[in-house]
Every structure is written in C-alpha cells, then in structure tokens.
Amino acid sequence: MTAAQTISLQPARVAFTEDGTPYSESFGDIYHSRDGGLEQSRFVFLAGNDLPQRWQGRERFVILETGFGLGLNFLATWAAWRADPRRCGQLHFVSVELHPFTATDLAALQARWPELAPFAAELQARWPTLTPGFHRLHLDGGRVVLTLLFGDARTLLPQLACRADAFYLDGFSPARNPEIWSAELLHTLGGLAAAGATLATWSVSGAVRQALAEAGFECTKAHGFAGKREMLKGRHADEGTGPRPGPRHALVIGAGLAGSSVAHRLAERGWRVDLIDEAEGPGHGASGNLAGVLRPLPSLDDNRLARITRAGALYGSRHLERLEARGLPVRWESCGVLHLARDPAHAEKQRQIVLAHDPPPEYLRFVDRDEASDLADWPLETGGWWFPRGAWVNPPGLCAANLAASPELIRCHYGRTMKQLTATADGWTAFDEDGCAIASAPVAILANGVGIRSVEQAAALPVRSARGQVSHLPATPGSAPRVVVCRLGYVSPAIDGVVCAGATFAVDDDDTTLRSADHRENLAKLDFILPGFRSGLNGIALAGRVGFRPASPDRLPMVGAVPAVARIPRDTPLADVPRHPGLYALSGFGARGLVWAALMGELLASELAGDPLPLERGLVEAVDPARYLLRPARRLLDEG
C-alpha cells in the first residue's frame, strides 16, 4: 500500500446550489453545468469523442473517465449505446472516484433524469459496497461492463491495466481539484491510450493542454457547451491498428470452482470452451463440499491478502446474485458470517482494524460478545468481526450454475482423465490414458486442482496438496447457529439437516478415508467456536467428506501464464519471465476457493480477451504464477 492509498472512503454528501445544481462541498464545485447535466454529457463527452460512430461495428470499445460523480456520463453513454443498432459487442466503461455516493443518495440524484430511469435502476441495484479498490459490475446482460476505481486517482490510475479508446476528462475544475489534472496523472492517461484514442473535456486550461501534449495527445479547441465558449478535443498520436483478436476458443482442465468460473467468464465474452474433468459432473473434487464460506480477511495494513479477499468476496457475491437472477441452480444464503476473536488480544486487534478502516456497517462491524451471541443464537465467549453480507455457498451447485449459463458455448468432456497435454502448431491438445485426443484449442487453462502437479509444463509451480476433512453433524432446520461462525475453523447453519464443521488442513497427506482423529479435531474446533455445542453429539457416528485443495506457499492464488523455465535470475522483471505460449494456470486457491474463484476467473478471462483488468496491477503481479521464480519459497501456512 502506497502512502497516497487510503484504507477507507469518505462518501460524497448531497448538496445543491441555490439554483438546484448538485454541488460538492469537498471540492467547492458543481457536478455539471447549470445549463443541463445530461445535455452537457452528450455534447462534450459523447459528441466530443465522435460517439456513437467510433464504436460501431467493433467487438469492444473502452472508455476511461476521470470523475464518476453522479454517474451521468456513464448513464448517457449506456443509453446511447443501447439505442445504436450498430453498437459494439461489448462496452467497457472505467471510472475513478475519490468520494462516491451511497446507493441511496445516487438514486435520489439520478431521479432528476427520468429518461435514464431503466439504466439508473439497474446501476443502483448493482451499486457496490463503498470500499477502496476496483469494483467490476456486469450490466445489461454482461454486454456493458462498468469498472469503478474507488480511491485516489493518483494511486489507482497507475495501477490500471487497460487500453482506452476514448477518455472523458470530467474531474472538478483544475482550480478546485488540481490533483486530477496534474501533469503526472495526465501523463498516466497517455500510457493507457489505445491506438487512435480520443479525448474530450470542457476544460481548456493552458496547463492541461500542455500536459496532454506531453502525454502524446494532439488537442484542439472546439465550440463549447451552452454558455461555455470553448471545450477541448484530442487524439492520441499513436495511430497504429492495435492488436488483432485471436481465436476465441479455450481448453479448460477441471470442472471445479476454478475451471467452471473461468469457463463462465470466457463464455459470456462469446468464447467456445472445451472443459475436461475425470469426474462424471462438475464440482466433484475439492469443490465438492456441502458448504463453504464466502467472506474477506481484513488486516490493519490492508495487505495484499486483505485486498484480494475483499475484492474476491464482493465480486463473488455479485456473481452469485447474477446467477440467481437468471434462475440458475445455485444454492447459497447471505446469512452473514461471524468471525470470532481467538482471545482478548485478538479481539482488540479486530476492534482496532475496524476503527482504522471505518468500513460501511453493511460490510463489516465489530460486535461484542452479547451481540455476537444473539447473531449466532448461541452463548459465546467473545465478540469479533461481523460480515452482514457474508454467506455460505454450496460449491457443486455454483460449479453447475457457472456451466449451465452458456450450454451452447461450453462443451463438457466428463469422465475423461487428461494424462498428457501436448503443444501443437495450433495450440494445445489433451490426451487421455489411451493416447486418444480429448479436445484441442489455441489456449489451455490448468484449473485441475492438485492434478496440476502431474502436468509436465507446470513443474515450476509450487502447488501443494492440502487434505481437508469436514465433519457433518445432524441438525434440525432453524437450529443454532443461525449464521456461519468462524474461530480457527468454521461451523455452518443447518443445511439439508446437516451442520458442517471443520476443516482440517494437512499438507501432503494423501489419505482419502474419513478419520476419527480428524473428526475429533473438528469437534475440538467446534467446541472452541460454540462452547458446549458438541455435548449433544456424544455417541453419534459422524459423517463427513475429504477433499484435497491446491495450496500455495504465500496463501495467494496462482493466476496467469505458466512459466516455461524452472529457474531464472531473481532480478528478472516479472514480465520478462519466459512463458509457455497459450498455457495458463488457475490454481493455488487453498481453503479460499469460494473467495477467489469468480474474481480470478474474471481476471484470467479479461487477460485472455484483452479487456481492462478487474484488479490493480500490483495485485495482478501478486498472483502471477511466475512470482515464485523470483523469490525464495515460503513455508506453506495453515489456512484453516
């Protein structure tokens, strides 16, 4: 985390000038022209970038905006895109905002433009929790993708990986908000410009024009909107043709959380997917548990693990909501997750983290012992973190829903074991134990859990097998706990007459049988979580499940191109590490498959499709599989 990066957000406050124009008290400036906000958006930003003409007939068009504000430019652009019969296949809109509005305030402000009501309603329904970082929203059936960067533009824009076809420069005036118009930040925009990118802004400041020229934009003044005499239009000097789209066909090995997630994200982009799994259906391996937990893991310094689990949990929840809205067979419940403190010292640490971050209460609160006991419906020894939107999820159901979303594009090869993966002139071919080809594609993705260790090309990846045993306890509907409760383990609410408790975490233990010793360990954890709960289980033969999770030494996933070497000088830049062409890994999820899967699938699909990435560059590098070649491997930590 850099010095300029914040770990909390201050939402914008609703205010108006005497004539009713929305006004920012933080910057002492209005959000749009007094002559009409929607008209200004259409005149300055759409027409100023020659839209909709420039997106017509294209597969994808990317717009980058400085200053989301009321969301008016986005809504106007979305409406224009929808009304255009020659519109591009997918519209990406990326926008940064230091002080976002709450969903309630946004709804009240956007009600001023009833002609945009259908678009505003969908945006408000998907509006993200106000936490720092990148937030990706899929709108209009996935054809419109809004990526919101909540925080300081000076920190976040250099962390953005995208190639923008058009820029909307719409921060508050340079006199009121000089940081967003600084030469350094505008130079960053030059590095994010696609070939032939254009820009438009109402500002004609000499300093802005000079900075844009130094960033590679050729700018001219044009007639301004309403009472403003002039505005600025520009075009980036790079007029190259840009990258040509490659064949949109991928071979995915593994039908668990990782494989089904990336298959879903690729299929929504129109890719064909051949998916191979040795089981007879999705979610039979490490993803086969009855229930798992979806919640983040905060830290005082908001480290990489904290930031990626936050992004993953929030994106994962939105993904589940989208699947559910389509009527797909996913089972989950946003019942809330209670993460109890281990001891008084840990409770104080949890409390200090909440105080330092000041998160929205719908995302995270610290609760005392009494409130925690009420939430769990069980007398507890301590309080802890309460994640009101945390959830339990049935992983096999999620895997099945991911694949059922696009049956016309995802071809499943169940009951087939890949014994060999071979590079060909056209990409990759998977062969079974009899030497018969199962499927081929230009791109191959290894999402086969611990099976990745038997793939010769992935030998450089330090994936470890972590055995986990979950105990299934008999329960009646509505019995305690009413929420998921964690404390060096977890216990779920009753699901199908079963409470899930666990789980053990044993590295390089290949025993597939249910063990009494592991049940005892889980019961001990259960007693630590819910004191006295196990007393009613004496003499009952416990059921359960054993799974083997692919774990990584630093507890972060491995997502990206597979390195083609086993050793390399440690001062080699990450981008210069040789890779197997067209071969990617989606692994190392450990005990956090539900937290990682949806977002990491979207990350890899974005990389393959050439879309803006949904995470900061630093976090993308943190999950790059080649990172282990550049630093000593750490001891694998218990993820329980």
DSSP H or E segment with residue 516 = helix 516-529
pTM of the full predicted structure? Answer: 0.95
Domain count across the chain: 4
Q: What CATH number is attached to the domain comprising 417?
A: 3.50.50.60
Q: What CATH number is attached to the domain comprising 60?
A: 3.40.50.150
Assess whether 230 and 358 both reside in one domain.
no
Residue 356 CA to residue 183 CA, distance in Å, equals: 32
Residue 259 CA to residue 585 CA, distance in Å, equals: 10
Contact status, residue 251 vs residue 418, Cβ threshold 8 Å: no
* pLDDT level of residue 637 (50, 70, 90 thresholds): very low
Contact status, residue 40 vs residue 225, Cβ threshold 8 Å: yes
Assess whether 380 and 414 both reside in one domain.
no
Is residue 63, in this structure, part of any structural domain at all? yes
Residue 46 CA to residue 278 CA, distance in Å, equals: 51
Assess whether 202 and 132 both reside in one domain.
yes
Q: What is the pLDDT of residues 107-147, one digit of tens each?
A: 999 999 999 999 999 999 999 999 999 999 999 999 999 99
Is residue 635, in this structure, part of any structural domain at all? no
Assess whether 354 and 496 both reside in one domain.
no
Is residue 296, in this structure, part of any structural domain at all? no
The larger pLDDT score, comparing residue 454 to residue 634, is at: 454
pLDDT value of position 306: 97
Assess whether 448 and 488 both reside in one domain.
no
pLDDT value of position 329: 85
Assess whether 120 and 154 both reside in one domain.
yes
* pLDDT level of residue 24 (50, 70, 90 thresholds): confident
Residue 30 CA to residue 169 CA, distance in Å, equals: 15
pLDDT value of position 34: 56
The larger pLDDT score, comparing residue 227 to residue 466, is at: 466
Is residue 243, in this structure, part of any structural domain at all? no
What's the average model confidence in pLDDT over 539-553?
A: 90
pLDDT value of position 242: 60
Phi and psi angles of residue 290, each rounded to the nearest 5 degrees, phi first: -65, -40
Is residue 517, in this structure, part of any structural domain at all? yes
Residue 468 CA to residue 518 CA, distance in Å, equals: 9
Is residue 583, in this structure, part of any structural domain at all? yes
Question: What tokens does 477 get?
Answer: 């509907």
DSSP per-residue string spanning 1-39: --TT--SS-------B-TT--BEETTTTEESS-TT-HHH
Q: What is the pLDDT of residues 68-95, one digit of tens each?
A: 999 999 999 999 999 999 999 999 999 9
Contact status, residue 341 vs residue 347, Cβ threshold 8 Å: yes
Assess whether 482 and 357 both reside in one domain.
no
Is residue 54, in this structure, part of any structural domain at all? yes
* pLDDT level of residue 336 (50, 70, 90 thresholds): very high
Residue 607 CA to residue 615 CA, distance in Å, equals: 11
Phi and psi angles of residue 68, each rounded to the nearest 5 degrees, phi first: -70, -40
DSSP H or E segment with residue 429 = strand 427-431
Is residue 163, in this structure, part of any structural domain at all? yes
Domain end among 550, 565, 595: 550
Assess whether 93 and 186 both reside in one domain.
yes
Q: What is the pLDDT of residues 160-196, one digit of tens each?
A: 999 999 999 987 677 777 788 899 999 999 999 999 9
Q: What is the pLDDT of residues 394-436, one digit of tens each?
A: 999 999 999 999 999 999 999 999 999 999 999 999 999 999 9
Assess whether 451 and 484 both reside in one domain.
no
Beta strands in 436-557 (DSSP E): 437-441, 443-446, 464-474, 484-486, 490-491, 498-502, 506-507, 543-551
Strand order in the sheet with 60-66: 133-139, 144-150, 90-97, 60-66, 164-169, 193-201, 230-236, 217-223
Amino acid at 319: H
The larger pLDDT score, comparing residue 636 to residue 575, is at: 575
Q: What is the pLDDT of residues 273-311, one digit of tens each?
A: 999 999 999 999 888 999 999 999 999 999 999 999 999
Can you tell me which residue has the tokens 């039908």? 255
Maximum CA pair distance of the chain?
A: 85
pLDDT value of position 636: 44
For the chain, what is the mean pLDDT? Answer: 92
Beta strands in 239-395 (DSSP E): 249-253, 272-277, 292-294, 332-333, 337-340, 365-367, 384-387, 391-393
pLDDT value of position 191: 95
Residues above pLDDT 90, as percent of the chain: 84
Question: What tokens does 292 get?
Answer: 């798992």
Residue 282 CA to residue 260 CA, distance in Å, equals: 8
The larger pLDDT score, comparing residue 329 to residue 50, is at: 50
The larger pLDDT score, comparing residue 478 to residue 292, is at: 292
Strand order in the sheet with 391-393: 292-294, 391-393, 332-333
Domain hosting residue 144, numbered range: 23-236
Q: What is the pLDDT of residues 207-252, one digit of tens each?
A: 999 999 999 999 999 998 877 888 999 999 876 666 666 789 999 9
Assess whether 81 and 143 both reside in one domain.
yes
The pLDDT of residue 13 is above 60:
yes
* pLDDT level of residue 29 (50, 70, 90 thresholds): low
What's the average model confidence in pLDDT over 432-461?
A: 97
Contact status, residue 626 vs residue 560, Cβ threshold 8 Å: yes
Bridging pattern class, strands 23-24 and 29-30: antiparallel
Residues above pLDDT 70, as percent of the chain: 94
Residue 251 CA to residue 600 CA, distance in Å, equals: 17
Q: Which of 271, 588, 276, 301 is nearest to 442 (CA)?
A: 271
Assess whether 79 and 214 both reside in one domain.
yes
Assess whether 111 and 135 both reside in one domain.
yes
Bridging pattern class, strands 90-97 and 60-66: parallel
